[in-house]
Amino acid sequence: MKGFAILCAVLFWGVLQAPAQDIVPPDSGSVSATTAQLNIQSDVDSAIVFIDSARVGQTPLVARGVKAGFHRLKIVHPDLTNWLTNSILDSLEVQPGEEKVLRYSFGKRYLILSVPSGAQLFIGDSLGGSTPYLLSMHEKDSLPSITLKRAGYDSALVDLSEAQRGLVTVSLKKIWTADQRGDESEQIEYGESHGTFRVYLAGAITVGFGAAAAYFKIQADDQNSRYLQDFSSASQSQVHVYDTAAAISLCLAEVGFGFFAYYLLAE
């Protein structure tokens, strides 16, 4: 019994003399001696982050346990269906135990269209190009003053604040001279008068041949009544003549009605 007590005392003294070990809580966020930590931020939240082709999360993101060495970083804009957005590519080297903060900006891109296209685009007083024009800006840049100019059209300002997912379309207003307006008015008046004349003509043909068909049919009926009374060959011949004329007139009336309906709908 005395020997057992001595053995326990020796073991207890050994534990007290053992070197102390650091115990790191799993949720402390501390960096180990062999890995690194990346704090990845972007000017657009919820951007998708890939490290060495592996998806690791969305911004803002704290990636722990990153192995020391070289890595490839890719950040994809969350609006995947908008082709005006782009991806951010970067390569970096991290050291064991390093904590690195990375900040990225997607910037802003605008596609400027004009109707008609081919208008000169001025950014301030400088000529930037012609429409369609792709404008790239940094996120912190203020919206510039943009003017579109095209021969024969009024100048127009481009308001980028009205862009829909980066797309801006500007309709240019044509400048009409007095002669051009006169020619256009004459063409409109000629077209209207010509169209009205065709409608009236087709209507008159329809009514005229319709009336003729009715007249010839009445005459044919009268001649047929006479033929039934005297059975003369002359009356029979007149019946055939009037019936033929009535049929032809009716066909022409139907053709005229077809043109009348077409011109009326076209107007």
| Residues 255 and 205 placed together within one structural domain of the fold | yes
In a domain, 203, yes or no: yes
Based on its alpha-carbon atoms, the radius of gyration of the chain, rounded to whole angstroms, reads 46
- Are 143 and 190 within one domain? no
**pLDDT tens digits, 153-171:** 999 999 988 888 889 999 9
The 3-class SS string of the chain reads CHHHHHHHHHHHHHHHHCCCCCCCCCCCCCCCCCEEEEEEEECCCCCEEEECCEEEEECCEEEEEEECEEEEEEEECCCCCCCCCCEEEEEEEECCCCEEEEEECCCEEEEEEEECCCCEEEECCEEEEECCEEEEECCCCCCCCEEEECCCECCEEECHHHCECCEEEEECCECCCHHHHHHHHHHHHHHHHHHHHHHHHHHHHHHHHHHHHHHHHHHHHHHHHHHHHHCCHHHHHHHHHHHHHHHHHHHHHHHHHHHHHHHHHHC
Domain containing residue 151: 108-171
Residue 130 domain-assigned (yes or no)? yes
Tokens of 93: 């080297």
pLDDT at 71: 96
The residue-averaged pLDDT of 97-103 equals 94
Which pLDDT band, with edges at 50, 70 and 90, does 10 fall under?
A: very low
Q: Is residue 150 included in any domain, yes or no? A: yes
Instruction: Supply the pTM of this predicted model.
Output: 0.50
Tell whether 248 is covered by a domain. Answer: yes
36 and 102 inside one domain: yes
**What is the spatial distance between Cα 34 and Cα 37, in angstroms, rounded to a whole number?**
11
Note the pLDDT of residue 7. Answer: 43
pLDDT digits 0-9 by tens, 186-201: 555 555 555 676 767 7
26 occurs within a structural domain:
no
Mean pLDDT, all residues of the chain: 78
Residues 205 and 150 in one domain: no
User: Is the pLDDT assigned to residue 214 strictly greater than 90?
Assistant: no
pLDDT band, residue 147 (cuts 50/70/90): very high
Number of neighbouring beta carbons within 10 Å of residue 6: 9
Residue 83, C-beta contacts closer than 8 angstroms, at least 6 positions apart: none
On whether residue 158 sits in a domain, the answer given is: yes
pLDDT on residue 99: 94
CB-based contact 141:121 (threshold 8 Å): no
The pLDDT assigned to 77 comes to 93
What's residue 81's pLDDT? Answer: 86
Please tell me the predicted confidence (pLDDT) of residue 86: 85
The pLDDT value given to residue 232 = 67
Cis geometry, peptide bond prior to residue 132 (ω within 30 degrees of 0):
yes
Q: Give the number of other Cβ atoms within 10 Å of residue 34's Cβ.
A: 10
Q: Each residue of 228-262: pLDDT tens digit? A: 666 666 666 776 777 787 778 777 777 766 766 66
- Average pLDDT of the residues in 99-111: 92
- Tally of domains in the chain: 3
